[in-house]
Structure 1
Amino acid sequence: MALPIITATERLAETRGVKGVLVGRWGLGKTYQLWSLDPATTLFVDIEAGDLAVKHWPGDSLRPRTWDDCRDLAVFLGGPNPALRDGQHFSQWHYEQACLRYGNPHVLDRYRTLFIDSITVAGRLCFQWCKGQPQACSDRNNKPDLRGAYGLLGQEMVAWLTHLQHARDKHVWFVGILDERTDEFNRRYHELQIDGSKTGLELPGIVDEVITLAEIKPAEGEPYRAFVCHTANPWGYPAKDRSGRLDLVEPPDLGRLMRKLGAPEAAAADAPPLH
């Protein structure tokens, strides 16, 4: 058996997807960004049930209601992880179970982009599931143990995100709510609104892009909405650009951003202006 080296030519010819997270305060229009994506090849994964802003968007959607639904979708999309044993989630066994439930996985071939709204609510579904597991009960008195539940939450969420990240030919955008908080020195900072700390800490290392949709207030002129894309930004927003193609501030249009990231097929041809 030959060493499975992937040549430079083969690697450069591979179809790759952008993996990113879009965060921002409520009410700024994160879900509305769906209008800028191609409805023929985008699947809206509506976990939050907050689709009023895109009620008439002409694309397809899924509505996972449980953490099991979210995991089944991930393995159905990304395929099995050969490193895992039977009985583990995201293993060959789990993949076969998902195929029995949903049918032929090629039904997802038509979708190039997954728009998952939101990772905040996915975390709540996961935490609810974790609180019912044996790890969330004390070995001493069998009473609820939140430390065990939070530990399991971090493991589950990171495994879910990592598996979706390995769906190499798909673009995946996670939407999340951004909180503004104050530390003990009365300094303001921003962080992803999600149960537990492990997911928020590890998420930037999993995805390619971290984009904050923010209202920028310049020294002169009117405030305006924009995507903040660089880690080193004067507002302290969470951001990251692994591609090196984005400016510090970009127009608040996800389709246009995808074109700049080298994925023009993900953008809608006749999207309404989002500025």
Structure 2
Amino acid sequence: MSLRIVTADERLREAQGKTTMALFGPSGAGKTTLLKTLPAEETVCLDLEAGLKSVQDWRGDSLPIRRFADAVDIACLIGGANPAAQPDEHFSEAHHAHLRGQHPELAERLDAKRIVFVDSITDLTRQAMAWAKTRPEAMSERTGKPDTRGAYGLLAREVIGLLKHLQHAPGRTVIFVGILERITDEMNRTIWQPQMEGGKAARELPGIVDQVMTLGLFSPETGPDGATAWRHDPEKGGTRRLVCRSGNPWGLPAKDRSGRLDLTEPADLGALLSKINHAPKG
């Protein structure tokens, strides 16, 4: 039996060493440039969209990924073995041991990283969809023709499995970056939602991660008490801020399990992680 009691001190140490986060923002908002606010020597960027042009001077490591199968292998190396997985399944002891034996230098390099920046989850789901369409589950047994529902079902299972595996990566902070799109419905109401292939993975992601935040443009204004307030101004705003709390007045995706973040925070992931993981003294 592998079950054991986790003490309060152990739980606190683990909480201070890892956070899972989903970060969304419109295309061109500068999500990738937030890499520059993270410690370069401790961070690896999983580059799924070939989008690091904006951070050419960032000194951290990146790992280009162009196939979903490669994304699964990297997630296995980062997250370790899942003791519940069967020997022939992804993330099993056998899968993990095989990868470490085949890529020892890569495994050692990844072991040294404390922060994993996944750029982007939008492209991860696109790669997963391309892979799912080639699988037997994406073909109708009755007609032999492509079965879209089967492909989407497989995509959801595999992507959610990968996200949950990274969620359990010991001692790692994992940041999933994704595109946020604005949709105007038939009643002229604006809705902001993550851009991902398949609705199930997008719906379940907020429940998997500790923190959800949206990078947006804001304009400062003076509040009733004379303090600076921030107005969401996606067209003309000159200041990037991270929206961190659910129920915010702009209807943007956000969630704060730590309870330590303000409604909006400066666009600095290093400072944000420090605020989340370290309780104030006193």
TM-score normalised by L of structure 1: 0.90
2-structure distance, mates of 1:83, 1:137:
29
**Inter-partner Cα distance in structure 2 for 1:137 and 1:241:** 41
Residue 178 of structure 1 pairs with residue 180 of structure 2: yes
Aligned mates of 2:28, 2:62 — CA distance in 1: 21
My pick for the range that moved more, 10-19 or 170-179, is 10-19
Cα 1:94–1:235 change in 2 (3 A) is: same
Partner residue of 2:255? 240
> 2:217 is matched with which residue?
215
Shift of residue 93, structure 1, vs aligned partner: 1.8
Which deviations, in whole Å up to 9, do the C-alpha atoms of 1:133-175 show, x marking residues without a partner? 0110001111001110001111111000000000130011111
Query: What is aligned with 2:240?
Result: 225
Q: Secondary structure at the match of 1:234?
A: coil
1:160 aligns with 2:162: yes
Aligned equivalents of 2:11, 2:221: Cα separation in 1: 46
Cα deviation for residue 52 of structure 1 reads 0.7
Gaps of 5+ in 2: 223-230
The amino acid that maps onto 1:116 is V
**SS in structure 2 at match of 1:180:** strand
Q: Secondary structure at the match of 1:56?
A: coil
Unaligned runs of 5+ in 1: 265-275
The share of aligned pairs that are identical, in percent, is 47
Output aligned runs, 1:26-175, within 5 Å: 26-103=27-104, 105-175=107-177
Distance across 1 between alignment mates of 2:174 and 2:278: 12
Give the counterpart letter for 1:256 in structure 2: A
In structure 2, relative to structure 1, the CA distance for the partners of 1:7 and 1:60 (3 Å cut) is same
What is the CA–CA distance in structure 1 between the aligned matches of 2:183 and 2:124, rounded to whole Å? Answer: 22
Inter-partner Cα distance in structure 2 for 1:178 and 1:91: 33
Residue 254 of structure 2 is aligned to residue 261 of structure 1: no
Cα deviation, residue 217, structure 1: 4.9
1:204-231 Cα offsets, whole Å, 9 max, x none, are 0000111100113567887232110001
Equivalent in the alignment of 1:7: 7
Matched letter for residue 95 of structure 1: H
Output the CA distance in 2 between the equivalents of 1:46 and 1:106. 19
> Do the aligned residues in 1 keep the contact of 2:17 with 2:277 (CA within 8 Å)?
no
RMSD: 2.0
Match of 1:261, SS state, is helix
CA distance in 1, matches of 2:172, 2:104: 20
Which amino acid counterpart does residue 112 of structure 2 have in structure 1?
A: R
The one-letter code of the counterpart of 1:36 is T
Residues in 2 aligned to 1:229 and 1:246: alpha-carbon distance in whole angstroms: 7
> Could you tell me which residue of structure 1 aligns to residue 228 of structure 2?
none
